């Protein structure tokens, strides 16, 4: 599949291996109106395996509805190709530019709807929660997150920080999922 440009979904792996027995396939999404990062990993207990990651670019489209349609189409393709069991989406933070926050909310809405439309449970995590789960501090910068993602997922080579952030969201969900399962087993 080509990388970059309109209509393209940049991917680091084109043909995924099936998940290992007992593993759960997770999709992490870092939504954005221009660039939406996505990452797929398999989780079995505390073991993580990188499957694929990439960035959906709508930067060449000026019309917001067309950007949202392209984002939805690309996410649908990823969902069909990788068949994740669960999805996790980073929550929107509110910044000083209300218009930018609103547009980010549009992209986030598509990111929440696409997996739900395929019957996939969707979980949400704030940026500080993701950073805390991956780096150990909620105040980590993008470089620290990228370094830890590469350490936790050997072989993962993200072309953009958006893909690393999406993998971080998936890692965060894997950790929270494992903790919930451990608590449920002990309860």
Per DSSP, 62 falls in state -
72 is catalytic: no
Which of 137, 133, 163 minimizes the C-alpha distance to 150? 163
Distance of CA 9 to the CA centre of its chain: 14
Annotated catalytic residue: which of 42, 53, 72, 90? 90
53 is catalytic: no
Annotated catalytic residue: which of 53, 72, 86, 162? 162
Q: What is the 3-state secondary structure (H, E, C) of 121-179?
A: CEEEECHHHHHHHHCCCCCCCHHHHHHHHHHHCCCCCCCCHHHHHHHHHHHHHHHHHHH
Annotated catalytic residue: which of 30, 53, 72, 86? 30
Residue with tokens 């979904």: 9
90 is catalytic: yes
Strand pairing category for 24-30 and 86-90: parallel
Work out the angle at residue 81's Cα, subtended by the Cα atoms of residues 118 and 33, and round it to the nearest 5 degrees. 70
| Catalytic positions, written as ranges | 30, 90, 162
């Amino acid at each position: 599949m080509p990388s970059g440009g309109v209509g393209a979904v940049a991917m680091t792996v084109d043909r995924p291996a099936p998940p290992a027995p007992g593993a759960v396939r997770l999709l992490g999404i870092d939504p954005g109106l221009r660039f939406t990062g996505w990452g797929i990993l398999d989780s079995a207990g505390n073991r993580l395996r990188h499957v694929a990651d990439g960035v959906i670019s709508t930067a060449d489209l000026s019309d917001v509805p067309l950007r949202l349609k392209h984002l939805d189409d690309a996410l649908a393709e990823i969902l069909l190709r990788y068949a994740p069991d669960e999805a996790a989406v980073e929550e929107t933070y509110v910044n000083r530019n209300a218009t930018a926050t609103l547009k980010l909310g549009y992209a986030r809405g598509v990111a929440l709807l696409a997996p739900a439309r395929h019957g996939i449970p969707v979980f949400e995590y704030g940026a500080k929660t993701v950073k805390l789960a991956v780096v150990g501090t909620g105040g980590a910068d993008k470089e620290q997150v990228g370094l830890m993602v590469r350490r936790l997922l050997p072989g993962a080579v993200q072309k953009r920080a958006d893909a690393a952030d999406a993998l971080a969201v998936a890692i965060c969900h894997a950790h929270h999922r494992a903790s919930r399962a451990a608590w449920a087993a002990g309860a």
